[in-house]
Structure 1
Amino acid sequence: KSKGEKEEGKMIFFLLLQIEWQTINRPYSDIEQELVIYFSIPREKLKHVVKDSLFYVEYESQLKVYDEQNNQLIGDFWEVKRLSDTLDIHDSVKILIPKKSSYFHLKIVDLHASQVFNITEKILKINYIGNIKWDIINDTLRLTFIIINPEGSIDSMLFSMNGIEQAIPTKTGTYDDSLSLMVGGLLNDNYTLKVVVFSKSEKIDEIQIPIIISRPFYLDEFTWLLKVNQLKYIATSSEIKDLKGTARVYRDSLWRAFWKQHDPTPNTEYNEKEVEYFER
């Protein structure tokens, strides 16, 4: 392969191997809140070990929480061993933290290889909004959350991200609420959702929430074409043409069918031939 082709291959591999995570801060008590981190690990990120003709992975999640003076307040770790029977590994860690917590550090280590993930993120203070969860379906970002306004001290919130914004009124009380933002015009990338809290048109609070837009590669035009083009060392020109011209709804099944014919272990979900090809 030429240098340019190798760089393009690295770009594809990077796009497909990003670990996705989402942090939830839940109200718990007057002195504590609950920190929950959901994450998904692409199967290629971990070393798959064979035992008794089965592939499995083993990793450890390490979570530490610090205050503003960088003192560790609390921490824990979790070891996981599971069969390699799905495309991605979905997991979560959960811990009660003091309300004075400032930020957390999460590290994921492959117990048969090396570190695969490392992130430090600010912890959201739960003042007027908490338990913020988000999901993206059909280019719609949907948020659900709890409004905490027992005294009626706030009257509205403004949600904005990359020029897309929506305001909502708030009422007195503590209650569940939600909103949706259309994000079809945004590419796969990391974004920041800003939530500004108002009282009588005066800004009194602001939080920022990391949002990851990461459509499956077969639903993202840019990534799909990059990945299909890389098949030229294993696929025929006719196969590449068929893949490029396939409608979105059929791409996933056609991709799986293509790699099935090159799978050395067809009775398992894990196709090491596909992984090795893109690693090269």
Structure 2
Amino acid sequence: MRKFNTILFICLFIILNGNIALAQQQRQQIPKKNIEKFSLSAFTRTANSRDSLEVLIYMRIPNFTLQFVKIDTNFIARYEAVIALQTKKGKQIGREVWQDSIIVNDYNITNSAVRNKTLMISFAIPSGKYKVVASLMDLDTKNSGENTIKLNLSDYNKNHYLHVPILLDKAKGDWGFGKDLIPVVQNNTFNIDDGLTFYLSGKVLPDKYTFNTQFLNKTGKILFEKTITDTSKTGIFEHIVNLPKEHIEGIGIKVKTELVQGAYSVEKTKDIVIRKLGISHLISNFDEALQQMRYILNSKERAEIKKVQSKKREELFKKLWKRRDPTPDTVVNELMNEYYKRVAYANIHFDSFIDGWQTDRGMIYIIFGPPDDIEHTVLSQIQNTTEIWYYYRIQESFTFIDRDGFGNYQLVTPFLGYRR
């Protein structure tokens, strides 16, 4: 087992350094160009009228998506960005165009994924179905990319409506939620020094209503709860609810909001991930993340997981990965990031009756990474589908058979390097 773990570590580390061929799956799914990797987010709220809602759209352009040109002592990237709101059928409701540049004086900052330019626009719209279309063009290279978001707001024509909670973070400027407050994209945040701040809004009948907010951990335990009883004269409401820092535990929190007025009630939820330095952003539950490590754990480490108390699982998780950190002097654990990228890929592409990472194909993918080639064979007479994965770099191949036609591929020969 120790020899196998050593071989596995070497395989993973080689892959991290890019010394692998492109896999068949990667060829089938064309990777995004950098210019396409800007983020696009849309948030809705009721702020001014019961008859319409406001959609706030944010476009974040990381530095690495653009080509910087050195001019004198600075590096400059010029771009054109467009955000448009359309009906479901494509009729344009509004459009904004920006032509601007990003100027930095350090070459390393030009490749930053953290440094970004944020653009924002808002529209007042009635209920209906919409789509947000955003495009970005590098004015020097002429490369361009486009992203789209679909919005289904058909239910807004009812008497009551509750929007999904919006997590706010600090950022200098006016972003539509008060001074220096901006919505958090991708529902994850590093900043918990002042707790977590949520914006909540919706519409009711002009009368008394009750609004309840619960914050739960991954096991369903209520960490904090707040109930607001108020009367709305205009039929709309806005509230700010804070989750104090001392009530935050773990890295995954569920926010559950419930609006009650008379016999009517509606509930909305949102999952939040608390990002921590040195922990892969793909991890939202330490219990699950520990279970997903089983392909690289020895028997002693598996026994540790079974015995560890719930409160100490984060500590154990960090300890196990510290042993496997190829660059222990840095904050980022490249091996951890690569491993959980594979887990995430397996869950998307190989899920069957169980999570993708638990399947035979998921196991092989997580251990060895993407294959260099895949051969498909369909035996129509017995309705079996066979996949053969070739790993030329380690002179190995694995054969999977789907015997029932439901995508439940199983290894023909059990893989001896790991025993379930």
Normalised to the residue count of structure 1, the TM-score between the two structures is 0.57
- Maintained 8 Å contact 1:65/1:75: yes
| Alpha-carbon shift at residue 164 of structure 1 (Å) | 6.6
- 1:96-175 matched pairs, under 5 angstroms: 96-111=123-138, 112=141, 114-116=143-145, 118-122=147-151, 125=156, 127-129=160-162, 133-135=166-168, 136=189, 137-138=191-192, 140-146=195-201, 148-149=203-204, 151-152=206-207, 154-159=209-214, 163=220, 166=225, 168-173=227-232
| Contact 1:158/1:197, CA 8 A, preserved across alignment | no
In the alignment, is residue 88 of structure 1 matched against residue 115 of structure 2?
A: yes
Q: Give the letter for the 1:36 counterpart.
A: L
Note if contact 1:34-1:94 (Cα within 8 Å) is conserved in structure 2.
no
Alignment partners' CA distance in 2, 1:213 and 1:18: 21
Letter in 1 for 2:134: K
Shift in alpha-carbon separation, 1:170–1:81, aligned structure 2, 3 A = same
Q: Distance between the aligned counterparts of 1:114 and 1:194, measured in 2?
A: 42
Which of 259, 264, 269 is residue 197 of structure 1 equivalent to? Answer: 259
What is the TM-score normalised by the length of structure 2?
Answer: 0.41
Could you report, residue by residue, the CA deviation over 1:118-163 in whole angstroms, capped at 9, with x for unpaired residues? 2414255494556964225327431023464462253234456754
Q: Is the 8 A contact 1:40 1:91 kept in 2?
A: yes
Distance across 2 between alignment mates of 1:20 and 1:164 = 33
Q: Contact (CA 8 Å) 1:145, 1:177: kept in 2 or not?
A: yes
Post-superposition offset of 1:193: 5.2
Calculate the aligned-residue CA RMSD, in Å. Answer: 4.4
Match of 2:12 in 1: 4
Who is 1:185 aligned against? 250
Q: How does 1:39-118 map to 2 (within 5 A)?
A: 39-57=59-77, 58-67=79-88, 70-85=89-104, 87-111=114-138, 112=141, 114-116=143-145, 118=147
Q: 1:160 to 1:74 in 2, by over 3 A?
A: farther
Query: Do residues 220 (structure 1) and 228 (structure 2) align?
Result: no
Q: Is the Cα contact below 8 Å between 1:101 and 1:123 reproduced in 2?
A: yes
- Between Structure 1 and Structure 2, how many residues are aligned? 219
Q: Deviations over 1:159-217 (max 9, x none)?
A: 56754764523311255422234554236xxx9855432234x55334466x66474xx
Give per-residue Cα distances to partners, 1:204-233, cap 9 Å, x unaligned.
Answer: 334466x66474xxx42224999xx99x7x
* Aligned equivalent of 1:236: none
- Counterparts of 1:108 and 1:214 in 2: how far apart (Å)? 30
Indicate if the aligned counterparts of 2:255 and 2:272 stay in contact, CA closer than 8 A.
no
CA distance in 1, matches of 2:221, 2:92: 37
Aligned mates of 1:45, 1:99 — CA distance in 2: 34
2:83 counterpart letter in structure 1:
Q
- Alignment check: 8 A CA contact 2:55 2:124 kept: yes
SS at match of 2:128: coil
Aligned residue type for 2:239: D
Q: Whole-Å Cα distance in 2 between the matches of residues 147 and 97 of structure 1?
A: 14
- Counterpart position of 1:19: 39
Partner of 1:263: none
For the 8 Å contact 1:129–1:146, the answer to whether it is kept is yes
Between the aligned partners of 1:44 and 1:119, the Cα distance in structure 2 is 20
CA 78–144 in structure 1, closer or farther in 2 if over 3 Å, else same? same
CA distance in 1, matches of 2:272, 2:66: 21
User: Cα offset for 1:102?
Assistant: 2.2
Of the two, which has the highest radius of gyration? 2
Identical-residue share of aligned pairs (%): 13
Tell me the alpha carbon deviations over residues 33-69 of structure 1, each in whole angstroms, 9 at most, x when there is no partner.
33222343322222223344432231413222324xx
Q: Distance in 2 between matches of 1:121 and 1:164?
A: 33
Asked if the contact 2:50–2:203 (Cα under 8 Å) also holds between the matched residues in 1, the reply is no
Residues 71 and 133 of structure 1, relative CA distance in 2, 3 Å threshold: same
Cα separation, 2, equivalents of 1:138 and 1:27 = 27
- Does the CA-based 8 Å contact 1:102-1:123 persist in structure 2? yes
CA contact (8 A) 1:45 1:116 kept: no
Q: Whole-Å Cα distance in 1 between the matches of residues 119 and 254 of structure 2?
A: 21
More strand by share: 1
